[in-house]
Chains A and B, each alone.
Chain A
Amino acid sequence: MKRALAVSVALAAVAVALPADAYHAATHAGLTERAALASTLHARLMQRFGRALGLYEPLALDGSNRDPGHRELLRRLAQLDREGGYTPDRGRLSALEWLVAGAALEGVPADRTRNHFYDPTRGSGLDEVDGEALRTRLQSAASGVGTVRGIFTGTTFDGSGMASPAWLRSADNAWGLSRFLDELERSAAAPTAAARDGALARALVAAGAIAHLVEDAGDPTFVRDDYRVALEADAGPYERFVVAEYGRVGVPELGGAPVKKAHLAALFHDGDGSGLADRTQSRFFTPGTLPDSGRYTRPQTAPGAALAGYAAGAVPHLLRYERTPSGIVWTLDERCFADYARALLPETARYAAGALELLFRGRLDVAAAGGTATVTAHDVALGRGKVSLYADVGKGARRLVQARELAGAADGQSILEATLPAGTHHVAAVFRGVDGAGEPLVVVQEETLK
């Protein structure tokens, strides 16, 4: 009887409750668009990837419907709102649209969002099981977040998840950093142009997914571990406000340069408190972490002298207070959310742009003379890795000319010299390894020979 009652309660809750959300897919799309357009990605795609239209270069996925990974990506893309421009048209999207699609796709299916939380003070992800695991699983299965089978196998969402910086590098994440690096390498090393186009499209999808994770560090709900109250009970009032107020196209411009960090993880949390998660957590509140919740010590705030009003902090309307006979009652209303969004969205886009700069950093110069090509590293010191040179000869498939392991190279250092086959009209150099700071990277340079 109790179990039947629990199931009924869960079903009814689904039927009558408002939805809740992290930043909505449209918000992520808008943030990532802003980030990409403000970054150097357009110039990099033109100059280093040989893509004449840069961010507007049309790219088609390769692969057939027999490939489960290909089918899965198409199935997920079909879930996105057609308004955003990231539904493939005759199998094609521009580079920018693949990137933005990746940002929107990171939340599809909804279950992935459990791994988007990150509390920088504890270094952990979502941890709100609290004896509510069964109820949460039932509710998740009923609302389409998980499956009924998952209730029994324990895989359906129960109020817990992996920390977003760990999810970014997790082997369980098919669209994480490893996928990005693999596909970026293939975008220059694959034998056919169609395979290279498809690989670049998938690399951009993965880059968008990584940008999404960074952007969620700019949502107070996600850095203050507030699933139960902010999302489940209150249906994400801040996130709903943002999508209603800004949609995709209304997301504001960056208002500053992309944030520079040497490591992806530092975009979330840095020792000096300059990571986005650090800054968001320490400056803003959420419905479940108000001053009287006792959950976080920051931000510090105090009510004014009036009976009711707003407490100020990082923004003028940080919190609404009301003096009642039983004490101070704190709430967040739309004036607070408007201030939060004005402060957080441009900053969040700056961090997302910083992530894109980091993912596509580095430069290789390829100089060819007298049938010999010389590859030189630029912009970033290289650590251990492998540098490879590929050549297009005649109308044949791209082939590897030479590769060598590298222990490291300073900015400006020559890293490979190779004799080119006769008839070579185009070369591509690829470095895959780590940079001088130990952060994984792939650097690509396409060069058409005169």
Chain B
Amino acid sequence: MRIPRPTIHFKPTRLLFIFGALGLWAGCAPAIAQAPFPARPDTVMPGDLLGAFDGQVVDAQSGKPIAGAIVQASWAFETGRGLVAPAGGSVTTVATDNDGRYVIDRLSDLPSARARVAAVTVVVYERGYVAYRSDRVFDNAVGGARARTDFSQHQNKVKLDRWSGTYSHVKHVRFVGGSGPLKRALGSEVVEASLELAAGPKKPSAATAEPERPSAPPLDAGVLLSVDELRAVTGYSGELAVEKLADLPTTSSYDSRHFKAVGKPETYDAAVRAWKLAPDAADARFAKLLTEVPHAERRDEMGSGSLRGFDGRIVAVAALDHARGVVIEFTCGLDQCRDADQAAAILKRMLARAERLGQPAPPPSVEEEKPTETPTPEPAKTEPTPEPPKSEEPFDDNQFKLKPPELKR
């Protein structure tokens, strides 16, 4: 079927000149779409899709700056006319400084002249918080996202809300997307998303009516191993700070402890990760550990199943208690634990206390459960109560790596 088209009369030579000039112009630089955001919060002047971008990331409740948050800008290119397709893109990832500030440089690797810069998305992520996108606001109740209107190219204020246990990991993982360091930072949240999806949709009341009230008390991995017990078994006499790992925020199904040797490399550190789940979900979590832990070998030396693995001078042991739905992973540097056997002995002690998970923590007592190895007389240290959502370190999918990944500043 023929669609009527208008007829335009111009002198061909003049047309050639005009179009030739346009063609040359088109060959020099790619087209750039108009930015859907303003240059600054106090103006309606449109920003520049190519950047640069700058702003500050703060805790929405306390207003305090968040250092080390991941900020990722993704530019999307496209090509074609009539029929259009993606034509690559570019990504820049930075971390916020001590004042929570970030600067993302202007896009330098422009696409070819036949492609256009079609869009840019800025995502901010810090473990324990709800992620921020330049185009959408995370909304657990409304399908996961609604439009954002307060993003600006410069002087952008990013207020991160703390994560609530009632939020959906499935929606959040979908919301964040991203690539490279940002995606790796989400590593453990995808496990939560998988468990959540397998369990079926959350009840509407949890998502809408009372979004801030957690559905169950948070898990406390502190009942499994105290700093004194660790010292008693390994004989380590240096200072050990007790923190939470940067895997995930504490929830009713997950908690962690990081025994961090102050002023020492991570081969002096030890860490506990504990999950309390439905028995089938615990099986799945354990199976996942078998694929995640470097050089993992199934040993079945305790509980319903166990494994051992290693990465350089760090050993890992993990065990499953199917009936209780408990999975415990213990990683220990070889300057802290003597060897994998010692790490396994410590894990065995923790597994014997699996039933305590999910119950109020008893006061730490070295007397009640004497370690099998020679204790070192050291004054007991009180574990500081960690700030619930804050994490010091961006996550890497290598569970042994406790230092933040290098990010472009």
Contacts and interface: CB of A to CB of B under 8 A. Distances in A.
A140 B135 contact: no
How many chain A residues sit at the interface, stated as a range, is 35 or more
Given A37-B197, A55-B197, A139-B82, A83 B26 contact: no
A54 B284 CA distance: 10
Nearest to A30: B174
Please report whether the interface of chain B is mostly helix, strand, loop or mixed according to DSSP: mixed
Interface in A41-57: 42-43, 46, 52-57
Interface in B72-114: 74, 76, 78-91, 114
Interface string B176-194: 1111100110000011011
Interface in B120-164: 121, 123, 133, 135-136, 143-147
Contacts, number: 208
Interface in A83-116: 83-85, 87, 89, 94, 104, 107-114
B80 A19 contact: yes
B23 A232 contact: no
B3 interface: yes
A136 B83 CA distance: 11
Contacts of A114: 83
A53 B287 CA distance: 9
B198 to A, nearest CB: 6
B85 A109 contact: yes
Interface stretch (B13-21, B307-315, B354-362, B365-373): B13-21
Given A19-B116, A56-B193, A82-B74, A14 B81 contact: yes
B177 A84 contact: yes
Interface in A65-93: 78-85, 87, 89
A55 B194 contact: yes
Interface residues of B, number: 68
A274 B380 CA distance: 72
A210 B90 CA distance: 28
Nearest to A9: B19
A249 B178 CA distance: 12
Given A15-B23, A17-B81, A140-B82, A82 B89 contact: yes
B209 to A, nearest CB: 19
A42 B197 contact: yes
A54 B20 contact: no
Interface in A147-196: 157
A382 interface: no
Interface in A126-142: 127-128, 130-131, 136, 139-140, 142
B12 A5 contact: yes
Contact of A249 (B18, B89, B177, B283): B177
Contact of B82 (A24, A112, A136): A136
B351 to A, nearest CB: 21
Given A85-B178, A130-B3, 4 more contacts: A11-B26, A53-B284, A107-B84, A250-B145
10 contacts: A12-B19, A13-B81, A19-B80, A56-B173, A56-B194, A81-B76, A81-B89, A110-B84, A130-B2, A145-B79
